[in-house]
Amino acid sequence: MTATIIDGKAFAANLRAQLAVEVASLTAKGQQPGLAVVLVGEDPASQVYVRNKAAQTLEVGMKSVEHKLPADTTQDALLKIVKDLNADPSIDGILVQLPLPAHIDTQTVLETIDPAKDVDGFHPMNVGKLATGLEALVSCTPLGCLMLLKDKLGSLAGLNAVVVGRSNIVGKPMAQLLLAESCTVTIAHSRTKDLPAVVRSADIVVAAVGRPEMVKGDWIKPGATVIDVGINRVPGKEPGKTKLVGDVDFATASAVAGAITPVPGGVGPMTIACLLHNTVTAAKRRRGI
């Protein structure tokens, strides 16, 4: 292995420590930031996420509010809760955990969240402001990837960046962020012809496709920086055991790349840290700081 390992876990811990200082300062002025998380239904993965979010929210000293609603909650009841949180001055960030049950229109719920409290950055107003270069709240995972890249590389201007995957949550906002940093940005996806050749042109590769170990070492330009957003559970070596792998084949890619994020411990820890970061950002903007 030649690549430097990008330690997202340590970076996220450091970011949370910095946020704790800011939160303490705001709290001392009677301006403690608050994050509300709304969970509808019993999805086990969502329950774990929400528990982790709440724990880390408290850990940095913010107010944490949880609304756990039964799976048969009506859309109107959910919208009422969102509107109440919009109006609640002690709440700076609102996160409705996805996926929502099928009888609820997700887009309607997301567009009901006050864009100034939309710490997931999914409201079209925030997506549009990001795309236009205006002050926005930015989707947490791509924001975390950008922080890791800038920490590793400094200025990204002029670098060739290839984003593999075009989801609304990662790929597309990632491309906008890299473009704002003056990268030459290529968005590749399932319809891309000769994906290995496209990836091989990249100084920066962001893989966000959800396919275990798809990006191979011989797709990577020697010395490139590789950010692996994938978190895929696959069978482990021992029968009945599983393990987590990314969208990048770490064993071969780390032999070629200049720097690479591991899975786990790379991008993963950045997502919640950036959620907290966005909540502090929203709190400061709402207080005119």
Does residue 129 interact with a copy of itself by CB under 8 A? yes
Nearest approach in angstroms of CB 78 to a copy of itself is: 20
Does residue 86 interact with a copy of itself by CB under 8 A? no
Q: What distances in angstroms separate CA 217 from CA 14, 188, 214, 224, 240, one per listed residue?
A: 30, 17, 10, 11, 28
Q: CB 50: neighbour CB atoms within 10 A?
A: 19
As a whole number of Å, the CA-based R_g of the chain is 19
Does residue 179 interact with a copy of itself by CB under 8 A? yes
Residue 46 counted as an annotated binding residue:
no
Nearest approach in angstroms of CB 86 to a copy of itself is: 17
CB–CB of 143/279 below 8 Å?
no
Does residue 186 interact with a copy of itself by CB under 8 A? yes
Structure tokens at 114: 């006050």
Give the chain's largest Cα–Cα span. 56
Q: What distances in angstroms separate CA 91 from CA 36, 38, 134, 154, 282, one per listed residue?
A: 7, 13, 23, 34, 10
Does residue 221 interact with a copy of itself by CB under 8 A? no
In which residue are the tokens 């929210």 written? Answer: 57
- Check 92, 120, 203, 247 and give the catalytic one: 120
Give catalytic status of residue 53 as yes or no.
yes
Give catalytic status of residue 56 as yes or no.
no
Q: Which range in 15-23, 130-138, 204-212, 233-241 contacts a copy of itself by CB under 8 A?
A: 130-138
Q: Which range in 4-12, 30-38, 192-200, 258-266 contacts a copy of itself by CB under 8 A?
A: 192-200
Residue 167 counted as an annotated binding residue:
yes
**Residue choice 86, 160, 232, 252 for contact with a copy of itself (CB under 8 A):** 160
DSSP-assigned letters across all residues of 127-152: HHHHHHTSS----HHHHHHHHHHHHH
Q: CB 256: neighbour CB atoms within 10 A?
A: 20
Question: In terms of CB distance, is 27 or 160 closer to a copy of itself?
Answer: 160
The Cα 106–Cα 112 span in angstroms is 10
Number of residues that bind a copy of itself (CB under 8 A): 32
Q: 133-144 burial by CB neighbour count: b if 16+ within 10 A, else e?
A: eeebbbbbbbbb
**210 CB-near residues (< 8 Å, 6+ apart):** 165, 230, 232, 247
Give catalytic status of residue 120 as yes or no.
yes
Residue numbers 92-121 binding a copy of itself by CB under 8 A:
107
Does residue 289 interact with a copy of itself by CB under 8 A? no
Nearest approach in angstroms of CB 119 to a copy of itself is: 16
- Check 56, 92, 97, 249 and give the catalytic one: 97
Q: Which amino acids are annotated as binding site for NADP(+), given as ranges?
A: 165-167, 231
In the complex, which residues of this chain contact a copy of itself (CB under 8 A)? 107, 123-129, 131-134, 157-158, 160, 166, 168, 172, 175-176, 179, 182, 184-189, 191-193, 198
Residues serving a catalytic function are: 53, 97, 120
